[in-house]
């Protein structure tokens, strides 16, 4: 089994983002196997080159802990997509919980779990980010900023729907810092 594990750092350092995903999928043999392999690794297996630098698909970033002590709920069903988001948020010192469905995001909030910010995907197997936002805003005393992170480039559409922020995937550290500085005063 050990010899079948993907060496993520080797792949990341030699390819651009599209080639990384293709290489990972080829090495894994199938999308299901790729997801299984990603699940087998903890974040510590591949995130840090050293104590202050992370390699992510869109470059290298420094650990700066700008938002240390903040907690985020990240709604994203895709392991590959969550990987980049996890690296960026961790580099900023943000503790995070991953929810793999819109229903899981909603239930966590409805049941009283406390977060400083919510990052939601646009599309889930059980709904959409806009549908989730509508349900969350119907909860009594809901006041957590909700950021949509998506490959969809329709930023204005999402802001008009009531999202507090928009980030295009793969998210970038500097864009997250700018947005969170506005939202988490």
In this predicted model, what pLDDT tens digit does every residue of 55-88 receive, in sequence order? 776 678 888 989 999 999 999 888 777 888 988 9
Domain that holds residue 95: 49-183
Q: Are residues 31 and 116 in the same domain?
A: no
Q: Are residues 42 and 55 in the same domain?
A: no
Q: Are residues 66 and 136 in the same domain?
A: yes
Q: What is the pLDDT of residue 35?
A: 64
Structural domains of the chain, count: 2
pTM: 0.73
E strand spans, the chain: 53-56, 59-62, 71-75, 95-99, 117-120, 123-124, 127-128, 146-150, 165-168
Q: What is the pLDDT of residue 154?
A: 94
Q: Are residues 93 and 7 in the same domain?
A: no
The strands making up 165-168's β-sheet, listed across from edge to edge, are 95-99, 71-75, 117-120, 146-150, 165-168
Handedness of CA 94, 63, 86, 183 (dihedral sign): positive
Burial of 130 per CB tally in 10 Å (0-12, 13-18, 19+):
middle
Low-confidence ranges of the chain (pLDDT < 70): 1-51, 57-58
């Amino acid at each position: 089994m050990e010899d079948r594990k993907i060496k993520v750092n080797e792949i990341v350092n030699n390819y651009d983002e599209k080639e990384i995903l293709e290489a990972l999928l080829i090495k894994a043999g199938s999308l299901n196997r790729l997801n299984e392999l990603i699940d087998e690794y903890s974040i510590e297996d591949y995130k840090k080159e050293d104590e202050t630098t992370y390699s992510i698909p869109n470059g290298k970033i420094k650990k700066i802990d700008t938002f240390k002590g903040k907690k985020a709920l990240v709604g994203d069903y895709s392991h590959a997509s969550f990987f980049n988001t996890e690296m960026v948020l961790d580099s900023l010192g943000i503790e995070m919980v991953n929810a793999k469905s819109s229903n899981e995001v909603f239930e966590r909030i409805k049941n009283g779990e406390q977060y400083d910010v919510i990052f939601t995907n646009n599309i889930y197997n059980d709904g959409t980010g806009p549908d989730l936002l509508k349900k969350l805003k119907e909860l009594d005393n809901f006041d957590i900023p909700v950021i949509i992170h998506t490959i969809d480039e329709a930023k204005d559409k999402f802001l008009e729907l009531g999202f507090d922020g928009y980030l295009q995937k793969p998210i970038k550290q500097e864009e997250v810092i700018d947005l969170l500085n506005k939202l988490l005063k």
